Every structure is written in structure tokens, then in C-alpha cells.
Chains A and B, each alone.
Chain A
Amino acid sequence: MIPGSVNEAAPDRALDERKPVLEIRDLSIVYRAGNADVKAVDHVDLSLAPGETVGLAGESGSGKSTLALGATRLLRPPAVITGGSVIYRGGRVAPEGVEILDQNSKQLRKLRWREISIVFQSAMNALNPVLRIRDQLGDVLDAHLDLGREEKRERLVMLLDLVGIPRERLRSYPHELSGGMRQRVMIAMALAVDPEVVIMDEPTTALDVVVQREILAQVVELQQRLHFAVLFITHDLSLLLEIADRIAIMYAGRLLEVGTSDQIHNRPAHPYTRGLLESFPSVHGARIELAGIPGSPPDLRSLPPGCPFVPRCRHAGDRCRDIDMRPLPVAGSGGSHLSACPFVTADTPGMEGRRGRATPAVAVSPQERQS
């Protein structure tokens, strides 16, 4: 809870510890393009426990942002939800759960910001350039809380304190703030009325690494204090490995693998995940041989039958063309680790995790590299 929050009747969160606060089931979203539908999200299951940080990693066009927009009903035509369900179980409004896909626009307005909020990538575009920070944050408070003038002012100040911005900045316009500060304002706005779920869609991608780390540290700290759950969407798997409890890997509209950060990092079970892990160089530790992933992300308009990763997969064979892409539990994980590849496991040769592949002694430095 935000200190001094107006919402004193918060439920005991321990009670719904086990039930997910947000549960996406079998969600499918298409973009209507002429006479053909492009499947942007295809039968995706993903849940978010209270206070949990789930990372959603995928390349551009993988459907990760579409999934988030679909789950919050922010999609615009030609995107259409064609099936599935999104259950929100907020302690305040719906401990037993409400179906977000059934809500009308008036009901949705009550859920937005108050229960589920979103931080977008580009804070410059998300903030209104002609309104002062005070007025934009104030709008969120006015829409959901009935506060007196003094109370409102106190809360605005407190929100800026929360994200480490000097209170004088309430009078500033967005263009007067640095990129990092604007993103902090967005985070303050997302937390303004104490939501239970915060969706962050590439919140730090446009920022420098030092600022990025400061903001992430702040999000982690706020989350520990306020206990909201985070769905963190990014293309940067290395970032997720550091901050997420669980990670879902998305490719061509499908979830290919879901697991804890540790499972994804040390025992990746899907060839695509392994490829991603070997795609980014790291500054710390021994140099590892980087392999990357051959080919390019698929065109959603013409996906191959079966597994969409087949054209880029070194383990692929004919058997991959008619498999069920539903992620299934990895043996020995107790159901916490799911993979959509029924053939490859973490123990298949060539599937060692990043740690297992570190080769300190034989790594080739650029100076030794032969021209």
C-alpha cells in the first residue's frame, strides 16, 4: 500500500496468495487484414501471481505488446480478440474474479489505472505535452479517488517522492524533463491509485543503461513496498533474467517456453530460448562463444505449419511440422517449467545453458582473432 493511501480496506493479500491476480487463458488475437487474418497472439496462457514479476520476452512482431493490449482491452481495430479469457482477481473489487473481456467500457474505466495500469515505452508520447505534470497526475487521481484539494496535493507530492523526483517538478511540462524523469513520471502515474497489476511495456528501452538500472532498482523497491504484480515486456532477455521471477518467451504469437529465471538461464528447454541466450554478449565473466540465431523472425502472414521456429532451428525435422504448440511441463520441474518443444530438452546435446557454456580458458579475444 502506498503510505497514507486512501484505500484502507485492503484485503489480506495472504488469502489469495495462490490464485493469480491476472490470468490469461487461451487468448487469441488476430489482425484483420483484407480477407486474411494475421494471428498475432495464438492460444496464449499466462498468469501473474500477486506481487510477482513476470517477464515477457520476444522480438519485434512476436505479439508481446499485442498480448498486453489485448489483456487490458486497449486494442484498436483491425485487431480483434477471437477467443480466450482474461480473469482479473483484485482484492478490492473482485476477489472471486471478473472476466475482463466481458466488461463494458464504463466498467473498464473503473479497472484502468485503479486495478491494472500500464507504463509505455515512449514517455514523451504517453504524456500530454501541453499539460503540467501536476495536472496529468491529478487527472488520474480525480478519475478514481474523491480527494479534497489538500489531500490531492499531498498525494501528488508523495507520488513524486516515491519515484525520486523533486516536488518542484510538479509545475514542469514534459519537455522540461529528461527522458529518465519522464519515465519516472509515467511510473508514478501508473502507481498513483495503487493498482494491483502494473504492465510495463519496454519501459526502459529508450533510456541509457545507467538510468535504466536506476529505474529498475526503483521499480523493484516500490514493488517490495507496495506488493503490486508486474508484467514486464521487453526484447531484452538479459534484463529479465536479472529482475523477473518467471519468464515467458514469445515467438510468432506463441509462448514457446515459460519458467523461472533460473530455469530459463541454466536449463533452457526450447531451442529458441537457447538461441536468445547466446545472442547477446555480456560484459562480466568469461567470454563465451556467441552463436546467435540464423535467419530472421517469421512473417506472420505466412507461417510454416507446426512450430513457427522450424526455419531457424538446428534441431528441426519433419516431426515438427504437425506438433501441438501448447507448452507442456518439462519433466522433473513439477509443472513450473513449460516448453512448447516436445522433442528437445535441456539435456539434448547443444542445449546447455549459458553458464554451462562458459569457456574461460579458450575464449578468443579480438586481438588473437585471425583476420
Chain B
Amino acid sequence: MSAALTPAEVLPAAATRGPLVLEAHALAKDFRLSRGPRGEVLSAARSVSFGLYRSAVVALVGESGSGKSTVARMLAGQERPTAGKILLDGAEIRPWARGTFRAYKGDVQMVFQDPFASLNSVHTVRYALRRPVRLHQRTKNREAIAAELVRLLERVRLTPAEQFLPKYPHELSGGQRQRVAIARALAARPRVLLADEPVSMLDVSIRLEVLDLIDELRSQFELAVLYVTHDIASARYFADDTLVMYAGEIVERGPSEDLTQRPAHPYTQLLLAAAPDPDRLGAPIEIEVAGDTRRAGSALSTTVGCRFAPRCPFADTRCRAESPPLLQINSQRAAACWRLDVAAPALVSETGEERSAPMKT
């Protein structure tokens, strides 16, 4: 079923968990910035391919503007791709189409970043949960619905449930609100959960609990989870595999632990060096950044060459002329960089022999 994914696009750690459920194949999204035939076009996502596997968490990591949320929104059926395909259980599906949207939503649900904005402030928790239960479980039996509401709240550990049902969002803390949003997503009994920065608006001390909850639900309901985040450290702890996005493209992919400990792409290296780290207490705050870090990578469709080249300390003429595809580093890892031999010499030399062997799909 992974026929659409090239070897460099397979997620090794997630794939061992379960079969492929949802697949992004060469997804692209262009936004026209100005009108007219010569208007500039921003490619927010360009040829993004990956799979989500049953019972596995895949992290999509990037800074603001990298296109990570656009990808999640396309998979959720909220944004229509400019090009590319979405496959559910191996069959192409057009989630944005009128006839398929509701059925698709029964399989693929999304949790948003801001639980203050995603819950309607004039409606109670009961109202927020009852609608999806009625729609997706196709029942009008009042007792069945009431029992299901309690079950949902208990699943996200909002107990006693009866106490939370009549509450309005403003009576709940941020963490509780996000739990309600997760319960609402579960109401459809989905197989895929797209979580777009689910904890970044929450207090530090409760983030971990919400992530743990999502992880527990993943294992309990065999959910395929996409975890969209700007926080690569949480991806390390939470996700089986990590995809790093930069200016609309996936620039590196691999098992989370290996990727964060031995980053290959210069951008991943920069991101990791910049992450706050108390365990480096006393180390200088300055990070080594060659190149011009203030020049943001351009995602304009007219950009030639590697989009990270203007900020990259290793960029050469080829990088500025030709956009690198994802290149296999070893059986687990891939990165879109022409200069991996310079950027990550240890990783490349260690796997040099492996790489020269022909890859099997």
C-alpha cells in the first residue's frame, strides 16, 4: 500500500507500529500573494509526502511559516491541495469534496492549537460534544448520547463528567479546554488524529499531561497521530518519527531520537542548536551560525535552488541553482541537502557502504 511512497519517504519507526492509514502524496499548496497574471505565488507546501501509521505518532516540526499547519489542514480536508493526492487506506480520496467530507471526518479528526478559540464560548461542554456524537454515531437516542458524553469526558480524564458537562469554556482552564477539544475529536471515533500544536498555548506544567493523554489515546484506540509542533524537543520525546519542514518542504526525516541526536540537514542542526537547553547551563548563549540568518528562506514559487541556501553555512553554487530532493542517508534517514558530506560527515561516512547498496522498496 506504500506504493506511492519512495524509499526515502517511508517512516521506519512509525511503520513498525502498524499499517499505513493516511497518506500524503506529493501534496502542494500555492497561495497567490497578489492579483494579476504576474502576481507572486507563495508555495506554502511543495511536494510533501509521508504516511501516518496505525498506533504511531509522526511529528511535523517547523517554524512559523514553514507550511506545517497548511499540510495538516490539507489532510483535514480544510484546504484543497493545489497538487498531489491524499490516500486513505490506499485509495485516493478528495476530503474537501462535498460528498466525502463528512465520511472523511469520521476517520480523520483535528485538534487545534488554541482551545480558547476552538470552543464556542456561548455553548456548554455538553453542546460541544453532543453535536459530533449525533452526527457521527447517527443516533438520536437521548440516553445513548448522554452515556457517550460521559464516556468521552472520562476518556480525557475530565471527571466527574457530570460536573463538566454543563460548564462553559470560560469556566475551564486551558488544559481542561484542550481536553474537551480532544474529546470532541474522539466523538467521531476517528482512526487518524491531526494535532496542530496541541500544547503550545498551555502552561508548561500541564503540557506533559496533555501529551501523555494523547499518547494514551493513541495506544488505546490505535490512532494514527500527526503531531504538528515548533518544539523539536517534544517531538523527540513524543513521536516515533520526525519530519522537519522548512519553507514548505520536508528537508529531513527519520526516527525522532536518531534525528535529534544526529541531525543531518543544516537547518535541523540550526533548530536544535537554538532550542533552549537547561542542561547546557553555563554554555554561551551565542550559537554558531554562519551565513546570513536574518534572511528568511523564501517560499516563493520563483525561488531557485535550495530554499535554505541563503542561511546555510555550507551552501555552494549547486545549492543556489538546483533544489535538492530528499536523499537517502541510510535505511532510516533521509535529508534534502546536496552537501551532506560536509554538513553531517560522521553520519554519511558511517553509512557510506549501506548507501551504495541498492535500496529495496
Which residues of A approach B to under 8 Å, CB–CB? Answer: 59-60, 164, 178-180, 208-210, 212-214, 216-217, 220, 235-239, 241-243, 261-262, 265, 275-277, 279-285, 287, 290-294, 296-297, 354-355, 358, 365-367, 371
Contact = CB atoms under 8 A, between A and B. Distances in A.
A366 B238 contact: yes
B279 A282 contact: yes
Contact of A283 (B55, B207, B233, B287): B233
20 contacts: A59-B203, A209-B230, A209-B276, A210-B271, A212-B276, A213-B287, A214-B289, A238-B278, A243-B285, A262-B282, A275-B205, A279-B207, A279-B208, A281-B233, A282-B275, A282-B279, A292-B206, A296-B175, A354-B279, A371-B55
Contacts of A283: 232-233, 236, 260, 272, 275, 277
B144 interface: no
Interface of B: 13, 16-17, 55, 57, 63-64, 173-176, 203-209, 212, 219, 230, 232-234, 236-240, 255-257, 260, 270-283, 285-287, 289, 293-294, 296
Given A59-B204, A243-B285, A265 B278 contact: yes
Given A60-B174, A365-B257, A282 B278 contact: yes
Given A282-B279, A284-B280, A296 B233 contact: no
A158 to B, nearest CB: 19
Contact of B63 (A210, A239, A241, A282): A210
A287 B237 contact: yes
Contact of A213 (B16, B236, B239, B285): B285
Contacts of B286: 217
A298 B117 CA distance: 22
B173 A367 contact: no
Given A178-B296, A279-B208, A208 B63 contact: yes
B272 A276 contact: no
Nearest to A241: B278
B240 A59 contact: no
Nearest to B311: A210
Contact of B256 (A60, A292, A355, A366): A366
A208 B197 CA distance: 14
Given A296-B175, A366-B257, A209 B206 contact: no
Contacts of B277: 238, 242, 282-285
Contact of B274 (A210, A281, A354): A210
